[in-house]
Amino acid sequence: MTPTTSYYPHKTTSDLRASLVLFQLLSFPFFVRIALFAWRLIDFFRIPLSPFIRLTGYYQFCAGKDVTSCAEITSRMADFKVKSVLDYANEHSENETDFDQNTSAILQTIRAAAKSNVYPFAVLKPTAIGSFLLFEKKSNGISFNDAEVIAWKQIKSRLESCASLAAKSGIVLMVDAEESWIQLGVDALVLPVLKRFNTERVVVAITLQFYLKGTFDTYKQLIDDASQYSLGVKLVRGAYIEKENKRAKSLGISSPVCDTKAQTDNQYRQALALGLENLPKHLCIIATHNEPDIQWVTQSCKQNNILLNHKNLWFSQLYGMRDYISFSLASLGANVFKYVPFGPLRQSIPYLMRRAIENSSVKSQTTLERKMLKEEIARRKTNA
């Protein structure tokens, strides 16, 4: 995609050079393996990380340690019409204290969104507010013991407090999708809340993963039912492919994930077509870094006279990844937001590790990022 102004208008040239070095390093799987090992050691021995923050990739993929410190970056992006959604990067939470802290961080992001049109949505990851094992038990229809009954009520109350604040604040709260084997439990929690709050407008939006077989049919059914409540969906391919396949193998069951990337791509494309056809009926958030898909959507909008800034159509990419796509879309007039992770450095490490693994395992990803960064640096040199 070609932006009208700059591929990375929110970054200085020295930021771009730092990104280039990082993506260069991420293109060496051996380096990434060593870095992951070093991170684990640093975390285990509680070695202070702050002096090395520039070496961790933190500034490439995270915007700050708290909501306030993210404002500099998010308002800079908003100057170029790219909005943000603050995503509290606290993965692997384990206890009630963590879940309560995460909930209060999510509530802060909703309050920030209520005050600023830089943040059109907020986001919540189910396992940030409740135990993975509890969602798994619920999915498998296993009865809870007394303590678990109380814990489940707590999860429900955390979700309700976020949804209620989002409702009062005029914000959409997106719920992320995680591993397939906890999804029934997540649905049991989220869908009743969604139906209760989504009467006049979308307050709670859900995520559909199209690497899972049969998700297109689920989407179609949701759209058919959309007359009963307001529907909002985020369309993703799915982030947990290795875990899904590994688990299926270890249990000797067939994987819920499509057998090939082409099948996932095909299902995702069908979903995009269905989403565009039914835009008047629901809020559709296209969350992908896949350039051919995004080009296909912009072309389809043109052919079918759908405005790229249709109020029900949004595009989204992760902060620090495919920034040039986000700014290009915004320069074409589309509604775009970046998923912007934030949180203290130590707590963000699992998120940074995921980004490192994702970038190093798909070589074309780092190659493309580096190509775009180099082009932008060269362009700025010529224009200087």
> DSSP character for 53?
G
Query: Measured from the CB of residue 199, what is the shortest distance to ligand FAD in angstroms?
Result: 24
Report the half-sphere exposure of 34 (CA within 13 A, side-chain side): 6
* Torsion over CA: 48, 52, 54, 58 (sign): negative
Determine, following the binding rule CB under 6 A, whether residue 222 of this chain makes contact with ligand FAD: no
Binding segment toward ligand FAD, per CB under 6 A, in 16-24, 93-101, 187-195, 260-268: 260-268
Q: Does 339 bind ligand FAD (CB under 6 A)?
A: yes
What lies within 8 Å, CB to CB, of 322 at 6+ separation is 289, 291, 369
Q: Which stretch binds ligand FAD (CB under 6 A): 69-77, 255-263, 273-281, 343-351?
A: 255-263
Q: Residue 86: which of 59, 67, 61, 60 has the closest Cα?
A: 67
List the x/- string, 318-337, binding to ligand FAD by CB under 6 A: x-------------------
Which residues are bridge partners to 317 per DSSP? 338
Among 4, 143, 227, 260, the residue binding ligand FAD under the rule CB under 6 A is 260
Q: Show contacts with ligand FAD in window 273-292 (CB under 6 A).
A: 287-290
Residue 72 falls in which region: left (phi positive, over 0), alpha (psi -120 to 50) or beta = alpha
Nearer to ligand FAD, 42 or 357 (CB): 357
User: Least distance to ligand FAD from the beta carbon of 211, Å?
Assistant: 4
**Contact predicate 7/375, CB 8 Å:** yes
Interface of this chain with ligand FAD, residues 161 to 220, rule: CB under 6 A: 176-177, 207, 209, 211
| 180/182 Cα distance (integer angstroms) | 5
Interface stretch with ligand FAD, choices 31-39, 42-50, 164-172, 253-261 (CB under 6 A): 253-261
**How many helices and strands in the chain, by DSSP H and E?**
16, 8
- The whole-angstrom separation of Cα 130 and Cα 101 is 11
Stretch that binds ligand FAD, among 17-25, 47-55, 63-71, 313-321 (CB under 6 A): 313-321
Contact 60, 315 (CB under 8 A): no
Total number of residues shown for the chain: 384
Candidates 24-32, 187-195, 232-240, 303-311: pick the segment binding ligand FAD (CB under 6 A): 232-240
* Residue of the chain from 257, 272, 334, 356 that contacts ligand FAD (CB under 6 A): 257
Binding site for ligand FAD (CB under 6 A): 176-177, 207, 209, 211, 236-241, 257-258, 260-261, 264, 287-290, 316-318, 339
